[in-house]
Amino acid sequence: MPEPESKDELELYLRDGNITTIRSPVRLKIIRLLQKNGSATFPEIQEETGLSKSTVSVYLNSLVDGGIISRVSGEYDRRHKSYVLSAKYIGTLAPSTYSAAAWFRELIRNTYTNYDKISYKAMLPHIFRIALAESGISIDPVLRRGGIILGESIVPFIVAETVEDTVANISEFWKRYEFGDLSLKSREPFVLEVKNCYECMTLPKGIAGGCVISTGIFEAVFSALFQKPAAVREVSCLSLGDPSCCFEISCNGDVKA
């Protein structure tokens, strides 16, 4: 069942070195259900899509054949089947009319004469991200995964016995590596604020995603601190015109310092 021609974005999924593109709203609805619940039975998927059994079977078979989802047998009854996501979401492709603002290109040019303040080495990640955006390519899931890898690597040095000490260690890490000025903005809800954020301060306004690497780092650090998955949501970002970047962190609904 090939994807129809459309100007909508394509989502990219990776499994065993193979990349599959998904645009179909029905396929995406099934994938969203599995992402949310971890697994789903045929009746649950049929209820979610509102389609007939035969139509749902066609979509499920195409996703299984494409390596996007897998059928699994029940633990106690092998006749009981459910579906799970078996591919990783890695990004999107979309028709793009985006072009980096003139001031950003001027900033790149001026970097040559302002090497004592900012270097091309520091600018390269931003330049690559802009080039991808101009091509209609988003790799935010990959960047977030990179943040998680970095966060997991520094956990032994960052995570302390208390939330306050952990935040202090994160703040020192951010300052040492010139990621920005990090502080605890709010306790309820639990929000970290980053001013002069390196990850997005030179991004042209309107680049979606913002600080996905930072989000991944915070996810890894606070999941390790609380010994259970932490959810991180960026609630404001310089790339959206906000004065600072703020991250709301929750763990089973609540995190209190």
Q: How many residues does the chain have?
A: 257
125 burial via Cβ count (<10 Å: 0-12, 13-18, 19+) = middle
- Confidence (pLDDT) at 223: 95
Which residue stretches of the chain have pLDDT < 50? 1-5, 253, 255-257
pLDDT of residue 1: 44
The pTM of this model reads 0.69
3-state secondary structure string, the chain? CCCCCCCCCEEEEEECCEEEEECCHHHHHHHHHHHHHCCECHHHHHHHHCCCHHHHHHHHHHHHHCCCEEEEECCCCCCCEEEEECCEEEEEECCCCCCCCHHHHHHHHHHCCCCCCCCHHHHHHHHHHHHHHHCCEECHHHHHHHHHHHHHHHHHHHCCCCHHHHHHHHHHHHHHCCCCEEEEEECCCCEEEEECCCCCCCCCCCCCCCCHHHHHHHHHHHHHHHCCCCEEEEEECHHHCCCCEEEEEECCCCCCC
For 90-115, b/e burial (b = at least 16 CB within 10 A) is bbbebeeeeebeeebeebbeebeeee
CB neighbours of 213 closer than 8 A, spacing ≥ 6?
Answer: 143, 144, 146, 147, 150, 199
- Close Cβ partners of 80 (under 8 Å, ≥ 6 residues apart): 41, 73, 74
| pLDDT at 102 (0 to 100) | 66
Place of tokens 């680049």: 207
